[in-house]
Amino acid sequence: MLVKNLKDCKEFVAGDDSILREILHPGKAGVQIHYSLAHAKVEAGQKTKPHKLISSEVYYVTAGQGLMHINQENFEVGPDCAVYIPPNAVQYIENTGNSDLKFLCVVDPAWRQEDEKIFDS
């Protein structure tokens, strides 16, 4: 069994400019999974850089308000919204609220740096 507390996960700025904490990743801490799980934060007035992954991804919003962009589609998101992002879709999210936008990111198969392409905003 493994229990992790978010506050114990190191915070860093990801390639897309979100503030990220990696919670679970295959091969780390002895977990036998095929996906990765991270907690992301985008501060008020900020947005992530457009990017795409070769893996599918799901965002689950836990706090804040935002505008999700996937390819040519845009839609509002808020707490308790789950967003499916298909493989190779260009995506970014912008915080449209007055507080931090927080969400969980599940990538399947697990996130790898070489599987992500970041675009200039």
Does the pLDDT value for residue 77 go beyond 80? yes
Distance CA 9, CA 23 (A): 6
pLDDT at 79 over 80: yes
- For residue 117, tell me if it sits in a domain: no
Q: What mean pLDDT do residues 94-101 have? A: 98
What does each C-alpha distance from 62 to 94, 106, 112 come to in angstroms? 15, 13, 24
Determine the pLDDT at residue 121: 61
Residue 29 scores a pLDDT above 90? no
Q: What CATH number is associated with residue 95?
A: 2.60.120.10
- Between the alpha carbon of residue 33 and those of residues 15, 25, 28, 65, 107, the distances in Å are 23, 7, 10, 30, 11
Mean pLDDT of 39-60: 98
pTM, entire model: 0.94
- Residue 100 token pair: 């931090």
Give the total number of structural domains in the chain. 1
Domain that holds residue 71: 11-40+47-111
More confident residue, 29 or 44: 44
Please determine, for residue 117, whether its predicted confidence score (pLDDT) is greater than 80.
yes
- Flag whether 80 is in a domain: yes
**Cβ–Cβ < 8 Å for 55, 106:** no
The reported pLDDT for the residue numbered 58 is 98
